[in-house]
């Protein structure tokens, strides 16, 4: 099941470890502190326990949230990179739950 | 429907406007760049268009993702604040989709 992992960690070293843990679990870093990818229930639980150990008593927040296909289809994203031409910026809308072709059809 | 809004915006002024827009739509700032709250389909679309205008051609990413009750029940969060005693940090697990009492029961 697709899963979002979002975190807000004060300490750089701890944030780095959280980042590495998410990568170890095959997730993709889609925003500065947001990962996205496929995870089974067990893998979510494993990652959750690992992040709890990493954070321990350090100040920080983590949300691990599965996202079903229907929610994904309803989701929308804006992705504008520096220096993108106007038309590209205008069209820089994507639908994580839909293939690029369908997304372009709007 | 509950909705997550996550953003990754380079420019402080633009990020500030995105933050204010999410608050205007009644969402709660649950992490540095993550908002959460109830939104209808129309309100999500309205907020999406507003964020698109705010970001324009500036570098930035936004994800607006509805989260159904079932996904919420499966989600897990860690929230540790500075100086939290050990036991509290241990127990600082919550289930956004469940009431606090049920969450404590683990």
SS (H, E, C) chain A: CEEEEEEEECCHHHHHHHHHHHHHCCCEEEECCEEEEECCHHHHHHHHHHHHHHHCCCCEEEEEEECCHHHHHHCEEEEECCCCCHHHHHHCEECCCCCHHHHHCC
Query: Which chain A residues contact residue B63 at CB under 8 A?
Result: 30-31, 34, 75-77, 96
Q: What is this model's ipTM?
A: 0.84
The H or E element containing residue B24 is helix B12-24
| Beta-carbon contacts below 8 Å between A and B | 135
Quote the minimal CA–CA distance from A35 to chain B in Å: 11
pLDDT score of B99 more than 50? no
Mutate to test the interface with B, among A43, A50, A73, A78 (most CBs of B within 10 A): A78
Nearest to B72 by CA among A30, A63, A62, A37: A63
Is residue B84 very low, low, confident or very high in pLDDT (cuts 50, 70, 90)? low
Indicate the average pLDDT of chain A: 85
Is B8 annotated in a binding site? The answer is: yes
> Any bridge partners for residue A8, and if so which?
A61
- Mean pLDDT, rounded, for A6-15: 96
Is residue A105 very low, low, confident or very high in pLDDT (cuts 50, 70, 90)? very low
Nearest to B64 by CA among B90, B40, B97, B100: B40
pLDDT score of A82 more than 90? no
Domains by residue range for chain B, with CATH: 2-67 (3.30.70.240), 74-104 (no CATH)
Across the interface, of B59, B62, B75, the residue whose CB is closest to A81 is B59
Query: Which chain B residues contact residue A65 at CB under 8 A?
Result: 4, 67, 71-72, 74-75, 96
> Any bridge partners for residue A6, and if so which?
A34, A63
- CA-nearest residue of chain B to A41? B74
The H or E element containing residue B8 is strand B2-9
């Amino acid at each position: 099941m697709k899963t979002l992992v979002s975190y807000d960690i004060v300490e750089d070293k701890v944030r780095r470890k959280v980042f590495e843990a998410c990568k170890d679990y095959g997730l993709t870093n889609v925003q500065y502190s947001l990962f996205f990818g496929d995870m089974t229930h067990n893998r979510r639980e494993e990652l959750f326990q690992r992040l709890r150990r990493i954070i321990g008593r350090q100040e920080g927040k983590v949300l691990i949230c599965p996202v079903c296909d229907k929610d994904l289809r309803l989701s929308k994203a804006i992705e504008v990179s520096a220096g993108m031409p106007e038309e590209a910026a205008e069209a820089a809308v994507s639908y994580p739950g839909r293939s690029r072709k369908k997304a372009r059809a709007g």
